[in-house]
Amino acid sequence: MLLKGKVCIIVGAASLRGIGYATAELFAEHGAKVVAVDVTMNDQMVSEIKTSIDKKTNLDADIIGLRCDISKAEDCDRVISEVITRYGTIDCLVNSAAVVKSQSLMEIEQNDFDVIMNVNLKGAFNLCRSVLKVFSERKNGVIVNVASVAAQRGGGLVGGAHYAASKGGVLSLTRSIAREFGPLGIRANVVCPSMTETGMLDGNVSDEKFKEIIDAIPLKRAGKARDIAGACLFLVSDLSAYVTGATVDVNGGSHIH
């Protein structure tokens, strides 16, 4: 078990098909106390998540759910203080929350741009800032932000230029955190998935486009949520104790650079 007793906050964890949920499941398997956070989280979802994890892992997983809109700084502060009240500490944050819209540049209205930036980039900033207050006091802690290959290759798969730019911002933000907070013993890294079979693809990729993308991937398949979860597990565990400011590509070889 790589995370025995560790308090892990996973944000963007409401969908049983999503990367956040897969990460929660894998972390629970490794003994973590999981805090599943999402803007849509409610009691029924938490219960579904726990039932699903317990069934797959044969464990009585230690898991709670909290609602949070990460675009609001006060919501992020509230979640962090609720976790501290309950567990007394926080060991890691995985931020997998985001919104996507597939639009060409000229179709992007001001409001589309603001929504994507407010959740994907400002939300990542808000969450990191809230948790870094705790990590700085502890002089310990790990952050993993989930960005996207869209940030590295200039979009063109799922999501428009606003999505790609927001994820590029997440890359730079995370690297800056790694540099500024490294001396305090805090690590921060990014995972860049490519097309992954989750609800995020619904309505954003046609069957034809999906096949075309798969054809160009050396490993000849789309990513699975658990593939991304595995990289997150590595990055929050002590296996990566000397890794910070890194970008881990989980893309089947589709973007080798």
Ligand X SMILES: NC(=O)c1ccc[n+]([C@@H]2O[C@H](COP(=O)([O-])OP(=O)(O)OC[C@H]3O[C@@H](n4cnc5c(N)ncnc54)[C@H](O)[C@@H]3O)[C@@H](O)[C@H]2O)c1
Binding residues (CB under 6 A) for ligand X: these are: 12, 14-15, 18-20, 38-40, 68-71, 96-100, 119, 123, 146, 148, 158, 193, 195-196, 198-201
Least distance in Å: CB of 98 to ligand X? 3
Residue 45 to residue 30: CA distance in whole angstroms: 22
Q: Which of 21, 87, 163, 242 is catalytic?
A: 163
Residue 131 to residue 177: CA distance in whole angstroms: 12
Would you say the C-alpha torsion 224, 228, 229, 230 has a positive or negative sign? positive
Of residues 23 and 237, the one with the C-beta less far from ligand X:
23
Least distance in Å: CB of 65 to ligand X? 12
Of residues 98 and 233, the one with the C-beta less far from ligand X:
98
Residue 109 to residue 115: CA distance in whole angstroms: 10
Q: Could you count the other beta carbons within 10 Å of the beta carbon of residue 218?
A: 9
Least distance in Å: CB of 124 to ligand X? 9
Least distance in Å: CB of 25 to ligand X? 13
Q: State how far Cα 35 lies from the chain centre.
A: 13
Residue 131 to residue 76: CA distance in whole angstroms: 8
Of residues 30 and 101, the one with the C-beta less far from ligand X:
101
Of residues 39 and 134, the one with the C-beta less far from ligand X:
39
* Strand-pair category, 186-193 with 63-67: unpaired
> What are the distances in angstroms from CA 254 to CA 64, 95, 133, 194?
36, 23, 37, 8
Of residues 99 and 165, the one with the C-beta less far from ligand X:
99
Least distance in Å: CB of 166 to ligand X? 9
Determine contact, residues 136/90, Cβ cutoff 8 Å: no
> What are the distances in angstroms from CA 200 to CA 94, 145, 155?
18, 17, 15
Whether 163 is catalytic? yes
Residues in the chain: 257
Catalytic positions are 163
